[in-house]
A and B are shown apart, each in its own frame.
Chain A
Amino acid sequence: MKKKWLIIIGGLATVGIVTALLVYFFVYNKPHKDYSKAKPDFEVEAIAFFEEFRTNAAASSTRYNGKVIAITGLLSSVEITDEQVVAVFEIDEGMFGSEGIRCVLIPEKAEALISIPPGSSITIKGHCTGYNETDVILEHCSIVI
């Protein structure tokens, strides 16, 4: 009789511990999304995409903010600092200098960008964080081959 109870309690305890571990790893400690593997929610052309935000920021934000976007366009320049590598599509001039789309690269994916000459057509995908009245910003970006 006693043995049966021990088995039941032992079984429940194991289920409890396993559940706690699963919650810890998959919920509380869940990993950040790997945007380099994510399928794009939208595939857009750089100039048209920027103009959508410039013309109607509210509607474009609702449509694109927080989504994975794949942008195709002519790469204007690459900004490299100690902290990050940014691919820039310069589309117009404004109060802050150039205006357009800025794509912050996932550090491991930045090297692929450095060998691409400015003026080349590239497709880059990432997480759209929004429009700050000057540029549309994408983060966690990687080049799409």
Chain B
Amino acid sequence: MKILSTLILIFTLAIGTAQAQKFITKTGHVRFFSSTPMEDIEAHNRQVNSALDQQTGDFVFRLLMKSFQFEKALMQEHFNENYVESDKFPNATFTGKVTNIKDIDFAKNGVYNVMVEGDLTIKGVTKKVSEKGTFEVKDGKVIGKSTFNVLVEDYGIKIPGAVAKNIAKSIQIDVDVNLEKLAK
């Protein structure tokens, strides 16, 4: 009996571990976009880390603020030095969950709508967010996409009066990550 229960335990653990498949990327893409009548500003970060746990739906992002590239060097400087103070707050993170992870069949190619909830931390300020996105399952890979907005003042980012007309209060964020199975 003891041998049988030990075997069952090992078997269960083996299945459990095998199912805890992680999908990751280190080159995720996050773009933010601000549009006002005065000007459009956008920046791209292509060094975004992201990980998805297939079983639990745990979904995390981590990026370095200094990795946002702007077309205008002066804008990049202002962004880092004045708006997000990237010397003080080098990272932005999201820690959350895909709440409907069970709806996704990772073995079947297709586009699935996902609901993601969690904590978004920018400039040391954490806020709960709940956003929609899509997961495209394609030959064992997961392409995650989402577009949502954040209010800059929610994260303690103050826009000086002089440029208030140039920078939108609500910034559009586009997320595009190609997640691949983490080799064991």
Contact = CB atoms under 8 A, between A and B. Distances in A.
B73 interface: yes
Contact of A31 (B46, B47, B49, B73): B73
B56 interface: no
B146 to A, nearest CB: 19
A29 B183 CA distance: 45
Contact of A135 (B26, B73, B86, B90): B26
Given A29-B72, A30-B74, A129 B47 contact: yes
Contacts, number: 77
A138 to B, nearest CB: 10
A14 interface: no
B27 interface: yes
Contacts of A137: 47, 64, 67
Contact of B47 (A30, A62, A97, A102): A102
A115 interface: no
B84 interface: no
Interface string B69-87: 1001110100010000011
Interface residues of A, number: 31
A102 B63 CA distance: 13
A132 B24 contact: no
B123 interface: no
A13 to B, nearest CB: 26
Contacts of A84: 27, 46
Interface residues of B, number: 25
A76 interface: no
B74 A95 contact: no
B62 A139 contact: no
Contacts of A27: 74
Contact of B51 (A79, A86, A95, A130): A95
B87 A132 contact: no
Contacts of B87: 61-62, 65-66
Interface string A19-33: 000000001111111
A32 B173 CA distance: 24
Contacts of A86: 27
Interface in B85-122: 86-87, 90-91
A131 B62 CA distance: 10
19 contacts: A28-B74, A30-B73, A31-B73, A61-B87, A65-B90, A66-B87, A83-B27, A96-B26, A96-B51, A97-B182, A127-B66, A129-B90, A130-B66, A130-B86, A131-B90, A134-B26, A134-B62, A137-B64, A139-B67
When A and B form their complex, which 9 residue pairs have the shortest distance between CB atoms, in order from nearest? Answer: A129-B66, A130-B90, A130-B64, A32-B73, A129-B67, A129-B64, A132-B62, A30-B73, A137-B47
Given A30-B73, A139-B47, 19 more contacts: A27-B74, A28-B72, A65-B87, A66-B80, A79-B27, A84-B27, A95-B51, A96-B49, A97-B183, A102-B26, A102-B47, A129-B90, A130-B67, A130-B91, A132-B63, A133-B91, A135-B49, A137-B47, A139-B69
